[in-house]
Structures are given as C-alpha cells and as structure tokens.
Amino acid sequence: MDSDNHAEPAEDEARHSDSPLHMVMEWLQDSYKVVPPRASFVQGLEQRIAAEAKRTPSYPELSSRPRTPILHNARPSFPRWTFVPLAAALLTLFPIAPAARSTPRRSALADLTDQLCFRLPTGEYNDAGHIYLMNSNGTSPVRVVGDDRLHGKHPDWSPDGTSLVYAEAITGTIWSIRLGDEFSAKLFDPRSFRQFCDYPAWSPDGKRIAFSRYEYEGQYDPRSELTPTRTWIMILDLASGECVPVATSELPYLIDVPRWSPDGKSLVVAIDHFDDDLHNLGSTIATLPLDTGEPEPLLPFTTFAYRPDWNPKSDEIVYSTETYGYTRQPATYADRWNLHAFDLATGHACQLTDVRADEYLSAPTWSSEGTAIYATLSDPLGRFAVRIDPSDGAVTRINGVSPQTQVRAQPGRM
C-alpha cells in the first residue's frame, strides 16, 4: 500500500473507512455533481427517441442470431473462468502431445478458396479467443482449432497455404495445425511460468518459424497488462526442432513482432522504448539481419510505429502508428491509428490511410501478392476485418461482422 508501484485496487483500500484513499474518494463523491440537461431538452429528446425506436426494425433475440459455425466435435463445456486456470495448470503438467495428422473432418474446409484466417476474441479477457477462416468476401466463417483449451492468436500461414502457426494465449506456447486436421501440434513451449511466446511467423521457405519470447518479473498472467522485462526473437528449425535466439533485448528497449523478408535472410521487428514507469516513450520498426542479429531502426522512436509486415514481393514494409503513442502519458484525445509504408529502396515512409479520430487501424498484413493489405479496424461499434488498397488508402470492411481481428490472407490464393 505504501508504494506507488504496488498495484492494489482502490476498492481494497477504500474498504477501510479511515484510509486516506477512502477519504479522497468520499471527497470526490461529495464534490462531484451530476449535471442533468434542461427539462425541455430531456423531454424533447425522449419524444424523438420514442419515435425513432418505433421506426427501428426489431432485432432478433440474441439467442436466435446466426452464430458462427464451429466445425469441431462437441466437447463438454466448462465455465470458462473455472476452466482457464485449470487448463493452464494441466497443460503445464501434461502438455498435449503433437497429434498424428488425421484426415479432414469436414469437407467445407477443403472446399473453401481465397481464404483469410482471423481471430475471434471471445471476450472473457484480452487474450481469449479462437482462430477462424473465412472466404475473402467474408462469407462462410469456420473455426479452425476445435480444442476449446487452445486460445489461438496471431495466426500465420505456411507459405504453401495448407497450415497455420499460432500462439496459444493462456500458456504462451507456439502451435501449428494443418487445415482440416482435428488436432494442433505443439511446436515450442517456453516451460517457464515467467515466459510467454507470441507472434509466430512462418519463413518463406517453410522451414523455420520466427517468434517473440517474453520474460516477466513474476508469473505471466494473460489477464494483466504487465510489461515484460526481457524479450528474445527466436528462430525454430522445423526439421531439427532446434530453437535459437537471434536477438535479445531488455528494458528500457524491447523488440518483438518478427516478420520475414521475402528472401528469408532478415526480419523486420518492432522496438518499444519505455520509461521507468513503463510508459511507452516511443516505438519504431527495424530490420534485423539474421547474420548479425543487430537491429537497424528505420524510423525515429517518436514515430510510434507498431506491428510491421514485410511485403512478400518487394522491399516495402507496412506498419501502424498511433499519433501520440500507445501508452504515452499524458494521453491525448486526438489519438488515431493509421497505416504507413516504408520503402527500403528509397528510405522514405508514406501514410497510406487517413481514418477518423474514433477509428483505429492496427495489425496490418500484406496479401501474398503484395497488392492488398488486411488489418483490424476498431471503432466504437466493434473490431472489424478490413481490406486496404495501398494505392489510394481506401478501407473496405470485409463483412461488417465484429469482432474479427488479426486477419491474414492465405498465400497463393489472393
């Protein structure tokens, strides 16, 4: 309680009526006044709302709304909050063995063409969710990983478009699954309660997986907003199973989110700069040649550049920016997230999109031909998968369904 660094909720201290914070809260409650609008305004708007509500078509009840089809065999359902800690413990003690490739269970998966993979957050907390596929026009969403214990995130395609690699949000492990298979295969487990892996990226030759490995001061908790103290960029050789770090970083600079260059000789990564209070002072993107392991920043940290992705057909890197920084203090009301592209040939960056202040574009990924960009658009109504034309910055919502995040196009199809 005595330290600002001690993250104790206000309620705990406020329970004690003589605590200083309780007194401050009471003072605020006594001083703060709710100011209603004029009665004439309230009545006028109520009449308008009543009229509008009658014109608004009836919505189907929640229970009868069409649900995203889930293509997996039914498993016993558990209350998630009961199950998640149990699942984490069990997965640690009894890791799921890589399963033999099985035959596809549903022909629908094999029949789909021009596919996008994406993540459907399930809402219990930030990292809970499952990986889905849908057609490029947003139709026919199907769930890829049927195991409810595996909360997949940040999926990436194999270069032949037949498999996905993803990070598991609860245990911080890396998995892959072949389309149509029932089971995922675990590729890497940090085997430490303080470590977590994320952002896997399949190399262009299909032989390696790059990913971020994070270390925390205490136990990793997917429900918290902890900042790691150390990160590694790891490369996993799929043939030998050997996993080696190619770069490492410690606070106040942390590198993560590796993405491959088209020739497979370099990565592009994000680097965040933090102050002592773990506020984000700046962020940039950098190339990381595998032979040197030395990141080479492309932009000043004040750019606040995040989530780079290398065009598979050129030397162009797309990234998102927030005008004033993700967690910079003080925050400002004019924050907006747009997409930019950095041309390695010329060394110039250009802004691709110009969204409204209440819209946030993030997690851009190139199509396999490098002619379109997919991203997540957040606005007050939800999070939507969008396609962006890099030539004019036009943003098109794929199917207007929320929430859909972390969209990535299947290689060879788009």
Partner 1 sequence: MATAPKPSGSDTRSEDRAEASDAVLVIAAQAGQSDAFTHLYRRYVARVHSFALRRLSGRETAEDATQTTFLRALANLHSCREADHFAGWLFAIARNVVYDLQRTHQQHCGLVDLADDLPDPSMSPEHLAILRDADANMRQIWTACLTPREQDALELRLLGLNDKDISIVLRGTHGGIRTMQYRSLRKLHDYLVTHHPEIVQEMVTT
Interface segment toward partner 1; rule CB under 8 A; list 1-9, 158-166, 167-175, 283-291: 1-9
Interface segment toward partner 1; rule CB under 8 A; list 35-43, 206-214, 230-238, 298-306: 35-43
Q: Are residues 269 and 295 in contact, defined by beta-carbon separation less than 8 angstroms?
A: yes
Please say which residue, 33 or 348, places its beta carbon nearer to partner 1.
Answer: 33
- Contact between 78 and partner 1 per CB under 8 A: no
Residue 106 CB, nearest distance to partner 1 (Å)?
Answer: 27
Please say which residue, 121 or 159, places its beta carbon nearer to partner 1.
Answer: 121
Q: What is the DSSP string of 144-213?
A: S---TT--EEEEEE-TTSSEEEEEETTTTEEEEEETT-SS-EEEE----TTEEEEEEEE-TTSSEEEEEE
Residue 29 CB, nearest distance to partner 1 (Å)?
Answer: 6
Among residues 35, 100, 239, 345, which is the contact residue for partner 1, using CB under 8 A? 35
Residue 395 CB, nearest distance to partner 1 (Å)?
Answer: 17
**Binders in 346-385 for partner 1, by CB under 8 A:** 356-358, 378-382
**Binders in 139-178 for partner 1, by CB under 8 A:** none
Please say which residue, 196 or 342, places its beta carbon nearer to partner 1.
Answer: 196
Q: How far apart are CA 348 and CA 342, in angstroms?
A: 6
Q: Are residues 173 and 166 in contact, defined by beta-carbon separation less than 8 angstroms?
A: no
Q: How far apart are CA 68 and CA 407, in angstroms?
A: 16
Residue 88 CB, nearest distance to partner 1 (Å)?
Answer: 17
Beta bridge pairs of residue 319 = 340
Residue 15 CB, nearest distance to partner 1 (Å)?
Answer: 13
CA–CA distance from 319 to each of 100, 285, 299, 322, 345 (Å)?
37, 8, 11, 10, 16
- Locate 119 and state its tokens: 């993540």
Q: How far apart are CA 276 and CA 254, in angstroms?
A: 13
**Location of structure tokens 């708007």:** 45
342 closest CA partner among 303, 379, 382, 369:
303
The rounded Cα 175 to chain-centroid distance in angstroms is: 16
Please say which residue, 287 or 353, places its beta carbon nearer to partner 1.
Answer: 353
Size of the site for partner 1 (CB under 8 A): 64
Interface segment toward partner 1; rule CB under 8 A; list 6-14, 260-268, 307-315, 338-346: 6-14
Interface segment toward partner 1; rule CB under 8 A; list 4-12, 92-100, 146-154, 233-241: 4-12
Interface segment toward partner 1; rule CB under 8 A; list 28-36, 163-171, 193-201, 339-347: 28-36
Single-letter amino acid code for the residue at 261 = S
For the chain, what's the residue count? 414
Please say which residue, 8 or 237, places its beta carbon nearer to partner 1.
Answer: 8
Among residues 33, 93, 244, 347, which is the contact residue for partner 1, using CB under 8 A? 33
**Binders in 100-129 for partner 1, by CB under 8 A:** 123, 125-126
**Binders in 197-236 for partner 1, by CB under 8 A:** 223-225
Side-chain half-sphere CA neighbours of 403 within 13 A: 18
- Contact between 15 and partner 1 per CB under 8 A: no
Q: Using CB atoms within 10 A of its CB, is residue 268 exposed (0-12), middle (13-18) or buried (19+)?
A: buried
- Locate 281 and state its tokens: 């002072």
**Binders in 36-75 for partner 1, by CB under 8 A:** 36-38, 41-42, 45-46, 48-50, 52-54, 56-62
163 closest CA partner among 188, 189, 133:
133
- Locate 256 and state its tokens: 């993560």
- Contact between 278 and partner 1 per CB under 8 A: no
Among residues 93, 94, 291, 333, which is the contact residue for partner 1, using CB under 8 A? 333
Residue 25 CB, nearest distance to partner 1 (Å)?
Answer: 6
Q: Are residues 347 and 325 in contact, defined by beta-carbon separation less than 8 angstroms?
A: no
Using CB under 8 A, list all residues that contact partner 1. 4, 7-11, 13-14, 20-21, 23-38, 41-42, 45-46, 48-50, 52-54, 56-62, 123, 125-126, 223-225, 329-334, 356-358, 378-382, 402
